[in-house]
Amino acid sequence: MKILIANHYEELCKLSANIIKEHVQAKKDAVLGLATGSTPVGLYKQLISDYQAGEIDFSKVTTFNLDEYAGLSPSHPQSYNHFMHEHLFQHINMQPDHIHIPQGDNPQLEAECMVYEDLIRQAGGIDVQILGIGANGHIGFNEPRSDFEDRTRIVKLSESTIQANARFFGGDPVLVPRLAISMGIKTIMEFSKQIVLLASGEEKADAIQKMAEGPVTTDVPASILQKHNHVTVIADQKAAQKLKKASYL
């Protein structure tokens, strides 16, 4: 696991955008795995400005998002589908049929999960997967004690994640869906050729320390990344403040 400590959030965004940009420049039909949440918003802004500057072409790129709330239609303002269009897709030249996000309002949710997993397999896996991390160590919506063998499936959100995500629902946790579809840990580990995990802010400091330096345990789902052979963690100083090994700095 390579750990890069950025001086501030803007640098984190620039470093992660550069990884994606260089990858897409070298492989025009790259498959990218994307995340939602606050952390990657600046990365997406940077990619939009790189696109506007003519430095990156998304016309042949395929994307797969990590997760989506169950029960929300793609057009629902709090759906991850809506989020991705607002923060990235509507500003760049992605082909709509190259964009994949689980359909949260599919009445056949289990079938949706299986089809999604198959689509990633058929695409040949994911070249670069962007991950955020929950304060409880989750990746995607794989909450603590998720099985490391899990594939894309329906998951129950933990209480702490419901509270953390209430800010996207006008601050009201009651409005946060209780279920979601998420790529499983096995899906992420097996299908991602390269993983870039982003973390910003001191509320992520414990999770980053446990992920990188603690035991590999389902109590901290992200700790499994210690067993992946190509992971780059990009953390700002606040998120990195509890790391013990000075060699990262």
Q: Is residue 136 flagged as an active site residue?
A: yes
Catalytic entry in 23, 50, 65, 67:
67
Question: 62 - beta bridge partners?
Answer: 31
Beta pairing class for 192-199 and 126-131: parallel
Counting contacts by CB under 6 A, is residue 87 touching ligand F6R?
no
Q: Does 140 bind ligand F6R (CB under 6 A)?
A: yes
**Residue from 3, 12, 17, 39 in contact with ligand F6R (CB under 6 A):** 39
**CB of 140 or CB of 177, closer to ligand F6R:** 140
**What does the H/E/C string look like for 153-180?**
EEEECCHHHHHHHHHHHCCCHHHCCCEE
* Kind of pairing between the strands at 67-69 and 179-182: antiparallel
The residue annotated as part of the active site, out of 112, 127, 138, 165, is: 138
Residue 36 touching ligand F6R (CB under 6 A): yes
Instruction: Mark whether 143 is an active-site residue.
Output: yes
Backbone angles phi, psi at 54, to 5 degrees: 75, 20
Beta strand 62-65 with 179-182 is unpaired
Which residue number has the CB closest to ligand F6R? 132
Pairing of strands 179-182, 153-156: antiparallel
To the query of whether residue 76 is one of the catalytic residues in this protein, the response is: no
Nearer to ligand F6R, 98 or 140 (CB): 140
Q: Which of 139, 188, 205, 233 binds ligand F6R (CB under 6 A)?
A: 139
By CB under 6 A, is residue 163 in contact with ligand F6R?
no
Q: How far is the CB of 204 from ligand F6R (least distance, A)?
A: 7
Please list the residues that pair with 155 across neighbouring strands: 180
What percent helix, strand, coil does the chain show, rounded to 5? Answer: 40, 20, 40
Question: Which class for 125: exposed (0-12), middle (13-18), buried (19 or more C-beta within 10 A)?
Answer: middle
Site string for ligand F6R, 55-74 (x = CB under 6 A): -----------xx-------
* From 102, 104, 132, 221, residue interacting with ligand F6R (rule: CB under 6 A): 132
- Among residues 35, 72, 128, 208, the one that binds ligand F6R under rule CB under 6 A: 35
Task: Give the closest residue to 1 by CA, choosing from 207, 239, 175, 226.
Answer: 226
Instruction: Decide if 67 is catalytic.
Output: yes
Instruction: Name the one range near ligand F6R by CB under 6 A: 3-11, 92-100, 135-143, 145-153.
Output: 135-143
Q: Which residues bind ligand F6R (CB under 6 A)?
A: 35-39, 66-67, 132-134, 138-140
Q: Enumerate the active-site residues.
A: 67, 136, 138, 143
